[in-house]
Structure 1
Amino acid sequence: MKKNLFRAKLVQTMIVGIILLFPTFARSQNELPTAEELRGKPNEAEQQRLDKKQSRQAALRQGIQLYKTGNYAASETIFRQLVEAQPEEAKYHFYFGNALFYQRKIEEATQAYQEAIRLNPKYALAYNALGFLQATQGQWDEAIIQYQKALEINADYAEALKNLGEAFWKKGNIAEAKNAWNKALTLYTQQGNNKAAQQIQEVLNRTAQ
């Protein structure tokens, strides 16, 4: 009986202790720093870097939009500024080259594409663009080399295959041209690019006659 009474008092004492401790525990939990506080606010230099990065990203989007709508001169201005601000960014040189190319500024565009490739040797888009530029100048051998480099990086690059087929055709390499076009047709079909697939099919139909 005495043992039971002792155990009951012990349990009661423990419960009272927990109740007394709980507010302190809850208060300490509420005083824990938030995730934002743990991360801390960026200092002035970090904030400036973030602001500049966001500004460049906005300029990049604007430049691409201008390029897509055919406003190449305005696009050139934006990408020239981006290249000057961050000359080690390959994609800025690539888009700069595009804006220059469609204004027939061939020498500058060539330099821009080459710089993009120098900065990023795995830049398949830049190899393809340089090849297309060379093709417009009748430099078919040089264009083929660039297209093949693009395809070494990305074997599923349908546009590079299409362009490679045209270059082979211009060189009189009919079998190689059709082989490249058939591969491009398969890829365009798999990718759901029906318009491009139809164009390739029409080319193949014409060359079969």
Structure 2
Amino acid sequence: MKQTSQMETRFVQPLSCLALSVITSIGILPPVIAQESSPAKLACEATLSNAEQKPRQKQAQKIAQFADPQQERSQLIQQANALFSQGDFQGAEENLCKFLKRYSDDAFGHFQLGNVFFRSKKFEAAISAYREAIRLKPQYAVAYNAVGMVFASQNRWSEAITEYQKALEINLDYGDALTNLALAFWQTNKKDEALVSLEKAINIFKKQNRNEKANQVEQLMQRIKNSDDNLS
């Protein structure tokens, strides 16, 4: 369980860092819930179809080394994590799609796939993958936060706020969700609410000894305060 938690943090960090800069506008369609034709499933089918056209020797070598199912689960996730960290999103996507074809009930796998889709700018598929993770694990605060970030990337602030608040209903001490919520409040001219949310996030990060994160949020808070001064 500890190993899974550490891997999950590594996948989430690149996403949460987006909260500390102005989020650019990028396309996204509303989430599709039906599994039979979900964007994530369709994307995986296309990825695996393309993978089957590659030389089979390398694939066979990967599959052969996994005699134990639990070892296979762990190794496929680790491989995807490594590829993701290296910026090989196509490779990470292929590994995760293979993983979920065998273990479709793995919420963490769907969450990681959502992260890969998000970084690959496959936003519709990212939402779909995150939603599937939440379906399998309803108290998945990190996945709700991730959905909110995809909405925020399209300036769909009210929808983003809803997702961040869902994450915080599950985990009141979720500093990243509080930071993201503050940004969404700021973008919708709710600056008082934004400052309150940032203050909570700073206190949480300090309690967690995440001092660098606390400093970043303090800088963001100062920017918001300065923007008020410039308007007066």
TM-score (norm 1): 0.74
1:32-181 → structure 2 map (5 Å cutoff): 51-181=68-198
The alignment's C-alpha RMSD in Å is 1.3
Task: Show the counterpart of 1:208.
Answer: 225
How far did 1:50 drift? Answer: 7.5
Q: SS of 2:182's equivalent?
A: helix
Q: Distance in 2 between matches of 1:159 and 1:200?
A: 10
Deviation string, structure 1 residues 118-161 (Cα, Å, up to 9, x no partner): 11110011000000011001111111111011111111111000
Letter in 2 for 1:124: A
Residue 68 of structure 1, CA deviation: 2.3
Query: Which structure carries more helix by proportion?
Result: 1
Structure having the higher Rg: 1
**Within 2, Cα distance between the matches of 1:82 and 1:141?**
34
Q: CA deviation at 1:67?
A: 1.5
**What are structure 1's unaligned runs of at least 5 residues?**
1-48
CA drift at 1:66: 1.8
1:27 aligns with none
Superposed CA offset, 1:169-200 (max 9, x none) = 00110011111111111111111112111111
Moved more, 148-157 or 49-58: 49-58
Amino acid at match of 1:133: V
Amino acid of the residue matched to residue 54 of structure 1?
Q
- CA shift, 1:69, in A, is 2.6
Q: CA deviation at 1:65?
A: 2.1
Asked which structure has the greater RCO (Cα within 8 Å, sep 6+), the reply is 2
How many residues are matched? 161
Aligned partners of 2:167, 2:153: CA distance in 1, in Å?
A: 18
- Listed as ranges, the gaps of 5+ residues in structure 2 are 1-65, 227-232
- The yes-or-no answer on 1:183 pairing with 2:197 is no
Counterparts of 2:86 and 2:198 in 1: how far apart (Å)?
28
Quick one: which amino acid aligns to residue 198 of structure 1? N
What is the identity percentage for the equivalent residue pairs of Structure 1 and Structure 2?
A: 39
* Residue 45 of structure 2: aligned partner: none
Alpha-carbon distance between aligned partners in 2 of 1:117 and 1:75, rounded to the nearest angstrom:
21
Please state whether the residue corresponding to 1:155 is helix, strand or coil.
coil
C-alpha separation in 1, matches of 2:151 and 2:199: 23
| TM-score for the superposition, normalised by structure 2 | 0.67
Q: Post-superposition, which runs of at least 4 consecutive aligned residues in structure 1 deviate over 3 A?
A: none
